[in-house]
Structure 1
Amino acid sequence: MARELKVLGALDAAKTQWYHFTAIVIAGMGFFTDAYDLFSISLVTKLLGRIYYFDPSSAAPGSLPPNVSAAVNGVAFCGTLAGQLFFGWLGDKMGRKKVYGMTLMIMVLCCVASGLSFGSTPNSVMATLCFFRFWLGFGIGGDYPLSATIMSEYANKRTRGAFIAAVFAMQGFGNLTGGVVAIIVSAAFKERFDAPAYRDDRAGSTVPQADYVWRIVLMFGAVPALLTYYWRMKMPETARYTALVAKNAKLATSDMARVLNVELVSDEPEQPLPVGHGDREQFGLFSKEFVRRHGRHLLGTTVCWFVLDIAFYSQNLFQKDIYTAVEWLPRADTMNALQEMFKISRAQTLVALCGTIPGYWFTVFLIDVVGRFAIQLGGFFFMTAFMLGLAVPYHHWTTPGNHVGFVVMFSLTFFFANFGPNSTTFIVPAEIFPARLRSTCHGISAAAGKAGAIVGSFGFLYAAQSTDSTKTDAGYPPGIGVRNSLFVLAGCNVVGFLFTFLVPEPNGKSLEELSGENEVDDAPEDASSAAAGEDRSTPAPDV
């Protein structure tokens, strides 16, 4: 395989240069949009309840019924799971670049459509919103395996972890931007309708124009995705896909010479290698050979991502309920609708700024120094410790005067999620599987994560909503459902800690070393190859 690996060796040894940063921004803006779209819904769900489910005969403000709230929050994850599996498989069949633009356009169209959700009844509006958010999630799902795979295949082996982590870190800025946009829009409408002619501070009051607020917030997610579409289409196919899957090392060399300032010399033939070249290494997904080589790796990446996302998305989507339970945020019946949205957005933005974003960038700066394994283990350990630190003395944190301590510890769980398994579960599956299965395996791992997000979004909702009110009457303090949920999430982190030991450490190794694609180099010459006059001193790539 020495001949085919010339361009790949040059990529592994290439110095960090401007195109690497360009690729990070192009791929990262997809994740910026992903995070904005997935988490902005949590900022507007309270407002949706007030607008569409307000009961004039009740003194309490309106709220989404539990089943409607679960659907609105969780349906995008169902779409994301499907998109990760489908586009992950398609990225290996058609190539990374050909599929990359499709996902972005789906996201743009569905962002706009979500904001234009229509219907003659509250339930029909919510059904329309859920329909468009499912397909929005489908496009978002494709971004996971494709962005990770593209960045890993462009990067050199010394800084590959940091490059992939930097793409994923754009999630933090998307999360932050969602909060900032919600603050600006809600404040603008609040200022306009705080005028004496419009002012209404009654509990549960909602001015009719508030219906524009949630629509604007959701539609804004189309802007960053649309801005990067042109540059995505200009990116060449990755050299590793072209050389190892399409089997055209000459074209791979030509593509990389256009964008990277490295010395690339190739004496490869212009035409792709014959389809049967290297067939004895053509083991398929879930074949016995795949299970022998990579089965435990795939088990480790899927289980770790699954349990991580139960905890991570539960925290993100329902942190507003947690803040209310510990009385950091006022009760809904003390604010009008726009005031409530403003305060929720401000609280979530503060946590994103102080805990979420620093965690991502600690990973970027340290992952190629301490390695993926140590960061993932440490993240799961400290997430467990801080969640137990919140859950065991939960009644202490809910007493007046202790709310600041609760918020600080809660922010630290976000920090160690992102300086930990939330980043590494995204990075490692893009490094340890063969090129022809890399996008598919990453998609499977990511889909397991979204299955965890679905469990978290539906399960935590019922735990937090269905138990608090009923058990308070029985003598239990408010928020007992939140406390039990924190214990469950801590248990999920323990499972992730243990399954981390199934995943290899990719730090400092080339993708071909990790995937075993260069193992055919030492294979003996077989009779059919000798008869055909084939030169087995440079075996075909493992594709």
Structure 2
Amino acid sequence: MARDQLVVLNALDLAKTQWYHFTAIVIAGMGFFTDAYDLFSISLVTKLLGRIYYTKPGAAKPGTLPPNAAAAVNGVALCGTLAGQLFFGWLGDKLGRKKVYGITLVLMVLCSFASGLSFGRSANGTIATLCFFRFWLGFGIGGDYPLSATIMSEYANKKTRGAFIAAVFAMQGFGILAGGIVALVVSAAFDHRFKTPSYHENPAASLAPQADYIWRIILMFGAVPAGLTFYWRMKMPETARYTALVAKNAKQAASDMSKVLNVEFEVEEEKIQRIAQEPANSFGLFSKEFAKRHGLHLLGTTSTWFLLDIAFYSQNLFQKDIFSAINWIPPAATMNAIEEVFRIAKAQTLIALCSTVPGYWFTVALIDHLGRFFIQMMGFFFMTVFMFAIAIPYHHWTLKPNRIGFVVMYSLTFFFANFGPNATTFVVPAEIFPARLRSTCHGISAAAGKAGAIIGAFGFLYAAQSTDRTKTDADYPPGIGVRRSLIVLGIVNFLGMLFTLLVPEAKGKSLEELSGENGDENDGEKQAASARMASV
């Protein structure tokens, strides 16, 4: 037990679950709802963009986005997200969580709306404009990662902190689901009003003029949930841990938490000054002391998030191609443009509903019972198993009688990603680092994840195609690029298991116990080590 714990922080650690916990989950979680909607909705409309802007007159089949354009459209928001995580993570420790929180939300609202208004004199001009706005959309989304996680961890009690942080992240599942539902509703509404023939029946008429509205409406809808939560975000008080341990304003911390907990707290100015003089509260991010205390922890959180996102984002971004390979989505030429959007949205909604969303909430329910370490290790293990089970006999799964089995196994990889490292890699960095570096370290960890996502978006989208232009399509068995990609992703997941050994267990400990901020010089180090050994 930390010997100098502030009364106000101890009250937060021991507080029973109250209304303000749920309010914080919804306010922070709606940011993640919007994040997921914006990041993943683009995969619903990329084929439509190819039809609209890259179909050549008189061509035998609908146009598709060139590989470089497809990679840019899918990956540019991830580049912005990486930059935003580093910048806003650092800024959240310098200016405070609340001050920076509203900036990220405004950026998300404006750029979601602007993405749907992308125009240009040529196809490449329109795509370039879209990429510009999606970069800045990603920049705002990036800030939401460290800020939401840090705010929730610093508001939560230590008994259910993991569940509360995971619940914020679990809103991402609903955002992915909402993207599919919005695409279903919009495409169904237009398709029912404007019936068009398939491309084979009439190439000129298969693309209804209204198709250009569909992708714009789907992308612009991301501004709605973010805008609805702006007022409530601005009403949230700054976290007591930032105010007391970083800003060193004992009076403000006591006042803010008195309103939140409906309990009066004494102002502990002397204790805050004494804590500030502790050696554990003086080292910086690039110091030898940080490397000694938290260097392996930061390596563990960055490496596991990096490896996880290579697999997770690759699966999401080219799942439409996988569904096409097993003929779950028919060839583009047999459908009109709007029907293709409907079918892609239907497939992705089904995956989200049956595996993605349940996986998140299994983590919420069990993380404070099983522990972060166990869930992360288990998730990586089963992702490895199912990825190899899909990839090695890949052509077996493409046969019509076996397609349902393929979908089930593919769904299980998503389930164990979310009941596993996709949630825990978000939770742990918000718990194990000192308050003055917490947002920064979470941002660094999240940025490493987005670096992995960029590799998935730019690298595996190419790998999933036959990229050797010296050979004809007949030289490649169907889906050879996808199969090789899945094998590589299986190896990536296995490496994630190994690097999980560097991540400490944070279950049941206060944030100050884990970081050693209020106790003896080695308290945090000992607590983290003992917790990890207990979990193993």
Structure 1-normalised TM-score? 0.92
Q: Which residue of 2 aligns with 1:158?
A: 159
3-state secondary structure, aligned to 1:10: helix
Cα distance in 2 for residues equivalent to 1:151 and 1:280: 23
With 252-261 and 509-518 compared, the bigger mean Cα shift is at 252-261
Cα root mean square deviation, aligned: 1.9
Q: Which residue of 2 aligns with 1:39?
A: 40
Q: Which residue of 2 aligns with 1:527?
A: none
> CA shift at 1:24, angstroms?
0.1
The amino acid that maps onto 2:243 is: T
3-state secondary structure, aligned to 1:148: helix
> Where do 1:488-507 residues align within 5 Å?
488-507=488-507
Question: Do 2:115 and 2:219's aligned partners in 1 also have CA atoms closer than 8 Å?
Answer: yes
3-state secondary structure, aligned to 2:65: coil
Distance 1:191 1:113, change over 3 A: same
With 169-178 and 470-479 compared, the bigger mean Cα shift is at 470-479
> Where do 1:220-235 residues align within 5 Å?
220-235=221-236
3-state secondary structure, aligned to 1:63: coil
Cα distance in 2 for residues equivalent to 1:503 and 1:271: 31
Q: Which residue of 2 aligns with 1:539?
A: none
Number of residue pairs the alignment of both structures matches: 518
Distance 1:521 1:417, change over 3 A: closer
> Where do 1:508-523 residues align within 5 Å?
508-520=508-520
The amino acid that maps onto 2:408 is: V
Cα distance in 2 for residues equivalent to 1:250 and 1:283: 25
3-state secondary structure, aligned to 2:465: helix
3-state secondary structure, aligned to 1:465: coil
3-state secondary structure, aligned to 1:395: helix
3-state secondary structure, aligned to 1:432: coil
Cα distance in 2 for residues equivalent to 1:226 and 1:157: 31
> CA shift at 1:465, angstroms?
1.8
The amino acid that maps onto 1:397 is: W
Q: Which residue of 2 aligns with 1:87?
A: 88
> Where do 1:124-139 residues align within 5 Å?
124-139=125-140
The amino acid that maps onto 1:171 is: Q
Q: Which residue of 1 aligns with 2:441?
A: 441
Q: Which residue of 1 aligns with 2:373?
A: 373
Matched, 1:463 2:454: no
Distance 1:279 1:393, change over 3 A: closer
1:6-59 CA-partner distances (Å, limit 9, x unpaired): 111111000000010000000000000000000000000000000011111311
The one of 184, 196, 201 equivalent to 2:198 is: 201
The amino acid that maps onto 1:287 is: S
Q: Which residue of 1 aligns with 2:534?
A: none
Matched, 1:107 2:104: no
The amino acid that maps onto 1:144 is: Y
Q: Which residue of 2 aligns with 1:243?
A: 244
Distance 1:48 1:499, change over 3 A: same
Distance 1:214 1:267, change over 3 A: closer
The amino acid that maps onto 2:285 is: L
Q: Which residue of 2 aligns with 1:400?
A: 400
Cα distance in 2 for residues equivalent to 1:88 and 1:127: 28
1:384-439 CA-partner distances (Å, limit 9, x unpaired): 00000001111110112111110010000000000000000000000000000000
Q: Which residue of 2 aligns with 1:286?
A: 286
Cα distance in 2 for residues equivalent to 1:113 and 1:14: 43
Q: Which residue of 2 aligns with 1:534?
A: none
Question: Do 1:355 and 1:415's aligned partners in 2 also have CA atoms closer than 8 Å?
Answer: yes
The amino acid that maps onto 1:303 is: S
Question: Do 1:468 and 1:478's aligned partners in 2 also have CA atoms closer than 8 Å?
Answer: no
Question: Do 2:6 and 2:271's aligned partners in 1 also have CA atoms closer than 8 Å?
Answer: no
Cα distance in 1 for residues equivalent to 2:272 and 2:119: 51
Distance 1:468 1:385, change over 3 A: farther
> CA shift at 1:474, angstroms?
4.7
Cα distance in 2 for residues equivalent to 1:44 and 1:254: 49
Distance 1:301 1:415, change over 3 A: same
The amino acid that maps onto 2:18 is: Q
Cα distance in 2 for residues equivalent to 1:472 and 1:333: 21
Question: Do 1:92 and 1:438's aligned partners in 2 also have CA atoms closer than 8 Å?
Answer: yes
> CA shift at 1:209, angstroms?
1.3
The amino acid that maps onto 1:353 is: L
Cα distance in 2 for residues equivalent to 1:449 and 1:310: 8
Distance 1:276 1:174, change over 3 A: closer
Q: Which residue of 2 aligns with 1:484?
A: 484
* Bigger Rg, which one: 1
Question: Do 2:307 and 2:493's aligned partners in 1 also have CA atoms closer than 8 Å?
Answer: yes
Q: Which residue of 2 aligns with 1:312?
A: 312
Matched, 1:5 2:6: yes
> CA shift at 1:76, angstroms?
0.1
Cα distance in 1 for residues equivalent to 2:276 and 2:12: 26
With 272-281 and 141-150 compared, the bigger mean Cα shift is at 272-281
Question: Do 1:469 and 1:478's aligned partners in 2 also have CA atoms closer than 8 Å?
Answer: no
Cα distance in 2 for residues equivalent to 1:367 and 1:133: 33
3-state secondary structure, aligned to 2:8: helix
> CA shift at 1:472, angstroms?
7.2
Distance 1:276 1:431, change over 3 A: closer
1:468-516 CA-partner distances (Å, limit 9, x unpaired): 9987745542001100000000011011100000010000000001111
> CA shift at 1:275, angstroms?
11
Question: Do 1:7 and 1:249's aligned partners in 2 also have CA atoms closer than 8 Å?
Answer: no
The amino acid that maps onto 1:258 is: K
Question: Do 1:248 and 1:270's aligned partners in 2 also have CA atoms closer than 8 Å?
Answer: no
Distance 1:98 1:401, change over 3 A: same
Q: Which residue of 2 aligns with 1:533?
A: none
3-state secondary structure, aligned to 1:202: coil
Q: Which residue of 1 aligns with 2:387?
A: 387
Q: Which residue of 2 aligns with 1:453?
A: 453
1:271-322 CA-partner distances (Å, limit 9, x unpaired): 9859974477410002100000000000000000001000000011110001
1:170-211 CA-partner distances (Å, limit 9, x unpaired): 0000000000000000111101111xxxx3333452111110
Cα distance in 2 for residues equivalent to 1:276 and 1:517: 9
Matched, 1:116 2:113: no
Cα distance in 1 for residues equivalent to 2:520 and 2:65: 59
Question: Do 1:250 and 1:270's aligned partners in 2 also have CA atoms closer than 8 Å?
Answer: no
Which ranges of structure 1 fall in alignment gaps of 5 or more residues? 524-543
Question: Do 1:304 and 1:499's aligned partners in 2 also have CA atoms closer than 8 Å?
Answer: yes
Question: Do 1:248 and 1:271's aligned partners in 2 also have CA atoms closer than 8 Å?
Answer: no
The amino acid that maps onto 1:114 is: S
The amino acid that maps onto 1:300 is: G
Cα distance in 1 for residues equivalent to 2:403 and 2:471: 22
Q: Which residue of 1 aligns with 2:66?
A: 65
Distance 1:244 1:482, change over 3 A: same
Question: Do 1:3 and 1:268's aligned partners in 2 also have CA atoms closer than 8 Å?
Answer: no
With 466-475 and 185-194 compared, the bigger mean Cα shift is at 466-475
Q: Which residue of 1 aligns with 2:77?
A: 76
Aligned residues with identical type, % of pairs: 75
Structure 2-normalised TM-score? 0.94
Question: Do 2:512 and 2:518's aligned partners in 1 also have CA atoms closer than 8 Å?
Answer: yes
Cα distance in 1 for residues equivalent to 2:173 and 2:392: 29
Distance 1:77 1:473, change over 3 A: closer
Q: Which residue of 2 aligns with 1:528?
A: none
Question: Do 1:4 and 1:249's aligned partners in 2 also have CA atoms closer than 8 Å?
Answer: no
> CA shift at 1:268, angstroms?
2.4
